[in-house]
Amino acid sequence: MEYREAVQCGIRVPSIGLGTWAFGSDAWWGHQDDRRSWEVLDEALSRAVNLVDTAPVYGRGHSEEVIGEFIAHHRCRDRVILATKTGLKWREKDPRIFHDLSPRRMREEFDQSRRRLRTDYFDIYQVHWPDSDTPIEATAEQMRQFYEKGQIRAVGVSNYSAVQMETFMTECPLHFLQPPYNMFRREIESELLPFCREKGIAVLAYAPLHSGILTGKFFFDRVKIPNDILRRKHRDLREPRAGVNKETLSRLRSIARDQEKSLGQLVLQWTAAQEGITSVLTGARSRVQMRENALSQAGTLSPAVLAQIREILEERDRKLAEHDA
């Protein structure tokens, strides 16, 4: 496993990290057995995938609890780069999620996450989403207090624009950005990645498999589209996009076979190879999936293969633009 350093804070992270939204076992991703989640964590650590990313809102605390119990049982806190988030809250018997980055709420949430994760500190603490009701400067000031007290080793934001990060950085150091990024969602290449390279901000890319769509399983393996919130009505699984996507993935699958990888492994390897990407956060529901994700980093993709993939993706973009015109 390749490790890459976040230069501003000195934390070295693997090129593949573990995202744990599915551990929440909620309506977003569907049911997940806690025992399977423990198996995924065990497999991840055995494969040197020691970056574990979670959030309070994943299962309304359940993902953090599962991870905290695993870490306590195996006494492995010193082996884990633990990342969690702040800024989203919920109410009992209310399906809605609310933004709240008021300093008081941030302090409450911080303590709740520490209890669930059974730790005194977080390696990476991230603002989950901006909150339109709270000035970014106030959020940054509270994050700076966590950082200066030694309660967190590094400061991160997720789903922020470059302008929002600029404002944040007037009040607090910023070490990590966590944006969505994958072959079908490459918007960050135009502004965010250049900004982060210029400022020395490490990038943790989430959703690299595009909710499983980029594995090809819904197109080639006759896997039924799950009835969860994220995928049951996903536009990339519906026409006219579905046909274009299937053709694109078919061409990419041929490249994957030449590289002796699965399609999913090729996607993860390509994502981790993009300039400015520090680590790729990918979910897993089983040991097998975790093992496949970790092995995606074996070997390298040649410049010629990278160029061929880029050409295929740009052709997809053109076809979808024609459909949308």
Q: Is residue 183 within 8 Å of 211, Cβ to Cβ?
A: no
Minimal CA–CA distance to 97: which of 185, 180, 161, 26?
26
Is 58 one of the annotated active-site residues of the chain? yes
Q: Which residues of 228-265 are buried (b: 16+ CB within 10 A; e: fewer)?
A: bebbeebebbeeebbebbeebbebbbebbeebebbbbb
What does the block give as tokens for 143? 């994050």
What does the block give as tokens for 220? 């080639």
Instruction: Tell me the C-alpha distance between 88 and 68, whole Å.
Output: 20
What does the block give as tokens for 243? 């046909």
Q: Is residue 87 within 8 Å of 164, Cβ to Cβ?
A: no
Beta-ladder partners of 86: 127
Active-site annotation holder among 58, 160, 181, 206: 58
For residue 309, how many other CB atoms are within 10 A of its CB?
21
One-character DSSP codes across 130-179: --TTS-HHHHHHHHHHHHHTTSEEEEEEES--HHHHHHHTTTS---EEE-
Strands 51-53 and 11-14: unpaired
Amino acid identity, position 295: L
Instruction: Tell me the C-alpha distance between 211 and 29, whole Å.
Output: 9
Instruction: Tell me the C-alpha distance between 171 and 127, whole Å.
Output: 14
Catalytically active residues, by annotation? 58
